[in-house]
Structure 1
Amino acid sequence: MDVSGIKSWIAMELVSPLAFTYAFLHSPLSLANFGNSPALSLSNPPTFLAGLYLIHYLNRSLISPLRTPSRSKSHIAVPTLAVSFNLINGALMGTYLSSPLAERFLTGAFSRPLFWVGVGLWALGFAGNIIHDEILLNIRRKAKAKGKAKVQADDNNGKNKQEHYAVPHGWLYDLISYPNYFCEWIEWLGFALAASPLPSLASFGSFLTTVTPPYLFFCSEVFLMLPRAYKGHKWYQSRFPDYPAERKVVVPFVF
């Protein structure tokens, strides 16, 4: 069964900030349960980082989809799986940032250079995501403005209505096919650097025992998006014979 692309996107993405907010304020590990409720002020590092998380999802769940002229319908399985992921991730991130572990690590964070390096990477990735999404939105807007008559004619002739696709250009699109994915990785890597100690890389077992939700989120983003980016890159190459040969998949100059 197919569902509305825009409505299903909003519904599945709103799950994350709602789960995050509830866990941040009410999770069993929250400092509130130890008689030390975190101050809901930007002068408190965990709350500052919580604000960055919510800013991202305000754009992702509401601002961006509501500005999208059109989005292809999606099979019900896609938003269902996304709801599950966002529910778990939001709850884990909110629980971590309100926990004694995060409180200890983030004590004095505003005076540490690495914290601001991480925040800077988050801001750079967030801005890059918006810029490259805007390029895609402009393609859809132009197609909608110029293609209404053609779509109607195709429908009258019995042809299937399809979304408009074109080769995007500008900024990192001149280097890679999926700069929005790459920018999101930069964003969440920066968030993890600011919010959490680095996990141990001595072995896979030690990594599993030391990884925290911010790094787990970053790793899961790369794991889930990388195959989609590769598949999409190949699709672009097959659909557009003049697709730029020098354009990489998702990491500039590398892959």
Structure 2
Amino acid sequence: MALIQNWLPPSRENWELIVWGFQFFPLFTATQWFVSYYPQGKTSVESRFNLPGKWAWATMEAPGFITLLYVMYTLPKQQGIESLPWANWTMAALFTIHYIYRALLAPLVLNPSMSPIHITVWASALIWQITNGLSLGGWLGGYGPTTVYDWAGRLYMIEVGLVIWGWGLLGNMYHDDDLREIRRAAGWRQKKEAEKTGKPVQSVDKVYMLPKNGLFHFILYPHYLCEWIEWTGFWMIGGWGCVPARSFVLNEIATMLPRAVQGRKWYVDKFGKDKVGNRKAVIPGLL
């Protein structure tokens, strides 16, 4: 049953339009190179239009994998496809695993706190996730490979892509947790101080330090780099000609790279150039 006729799941014509248009997303993110205003995370601002960080993050990120899975379960029936190849479901599983961690476990269970997110950031991310879910879901659900023969001769590339994806995910999780440890340690200190003084526990939403473990020795946003590596492995699994997977990787880089560069400037302004040292934003030794 279609939730929105010809759009959810999309007709082939509409899916092709989505895939074509999504390739131009980097044109919209170019403004981030010139505007530092980004009301989320460490650069969040006081606003009546702010949403609670944890729930805003979950509700703007989770629709991506939900959309992808919905399309993959409904589109084959419309296309008369009895079953999808195992490789299609493998890619869907990788996408879902990442976002169960990233959209649900990280904000709602693992993160001690999160800064508020402005409703404009929430809405933009929600649209991006649904568009990406439709793009990838349509390819995996019936408009891309539909038989095991479509994947013939690609086992080696799939295996290599899986390894790269796995290491990227582990690196992303490791560096995420290093950032969480800063908040956890601050929270423990605040709790002990509150017990001594009898005052309420102070919020740690805006507690920041320079992380030092892992790739933080060389760059300030290794979790971004690891996520790009992860999705490059995902792209390899689908094949270099998989436009939805390619757009996914390039669009992530297009929106996250300027934020990392702006973020490095934020670290320099807050902690000083000497403390930041030679650490780059997101690519060791380069940028």
Partner of 2:155: 112
Equivalent in the alignment of 1:203: none
Is the CA contact 2:138–2:144 (under 8 Å) kept in the aligned structure 1?
Answer: no
Once the two structures are superposed, residues 61-97 of structure 1 have per-residue CA deviations (whole angstroms, 9 ceiling, x without a partner) of 1111121111111111111111111111111111111
* Contact 1:50–1:97 (CA under 8 A) maintained in structure 2: yes
2:80 to 27, 31, 35: 35
Separation in 2, partners of 1:245, 1:169: 12
Query: What is the CA distance between 1:100 and its match in structure 2?
Result: 4.3
The alpha carbon displacement at 1:34 in A equals 3.3
- Which amino acid letter does the alignment assign opposite residue 245 of structure 1? G
For 1:108 and 1:95, the matched residues in 2 are separated by 17
SS at match of 2:139: helix
The change in CA–CA distance for 1:142 and 1:95 in structure 2 (over 3 A counts) is same
Pick the aligned partner of 1:244 from 259, 273, 276. Answer: 276
Per-residue deviation, residues 96-119 of structure 1 (Å, max 9, x unmatched): 112243336973458531121111
Distance 1:63 1:126 in 2: 14
SS of the residue corresponding to residue 246 of structure 1 reads coil
Compute the displacement of 1:254 (Å): 2.0
Partner of 2:71: 23
Letter in 2 for 1:213: P
Q: Does structure 1 residue 178 correspond to structure 2 residue 241?
A: no
| SS class of match (1:251) | coil
User: Which residue of structure 2 aligns with residue 64 of structure 1?
Assistant: 106
Corresponding residue number in structure 1 for 2:54: 6
Residue 222, structure 1, aligned to residue 253, structure 2:
yes
Corresponding letter in the other structure for 2:166: A
Contact 2:176 2:223 in 1 (8 A): yes
Q: 1:162 to 1:119 in 2, by over 3 A?
A: closer
Matching of residue 55 in structure 1 with residue 97 in structure 2: yes
Alpha-carbon distance, 1:149 to partner? 6.7
Q: For structure 2, which runs of at least 5 residues remain unmatched after alignment?
A: 1-48
Match of 1:204 in 2: none
RMSD between aligned residues: 2.5
Structure 2 residue corresponding to 1:132, chosen from 163, 171, 175: 175
Deviation at 1:162, TM superposition (A): 5.8
2:186 maps to what in 1? 143
| CA positional deviation for 1:36 | 2.1
Number of equivalent positions: 233
- Kept in 1: contact 2:219–2:281 (CA 8 A): yes
CA contact (8 A) 2:79 2:142 kept: no
Q: Is residue 115–residue 193 contact of structure 1 (8 Å, CA) maintained in 2?
A: yes
With over 3 angstroms needed to count, the CA separation of the structure-2 counterparts of 1:87 and 1:108, relative to structure 1, is: closer
For residues 57 and 180 of structure 2, what CA distance do their matches in structure 1 show? 15
The amino acid of 2:216's aligned partner reads Y
Partner of residue 166, structure 2: 123
The answer to whether the 8 Å contact 2:111/2:180 transfers is yes
Letter in structure 2 aligned against 1:46: N
Change over 3 Å in CA distance of 1:105–1:244 after alignment to 2: farther
Aligned mates of 2:284, 2:135 — CA distance in 1:
31
Q: Which amino acid aligns with 2:93?
A: G
* % same residue: 31
Structure 2 residue aligned with 1:207: none
Go from structure 1 to structure 2 and tell me whether the alpha carbon gap of 1:109 and 1:46 turns closer, same or farther (over 3 Å shift): farther
Amino acid at match of 1:230: V
Q: Distance in 2 between matches of 1:100 and 1:109?
A: 17
> Normalising to structure 2: TM-score of the pair?
0.74
Note the C-alpha offset of 1:25.
1.6
In the TM superposition, what is the alpha-carbon distance from 1:26 to its structure 2 partner?
Answer: 1.8
Shift of 1:228: 0.2
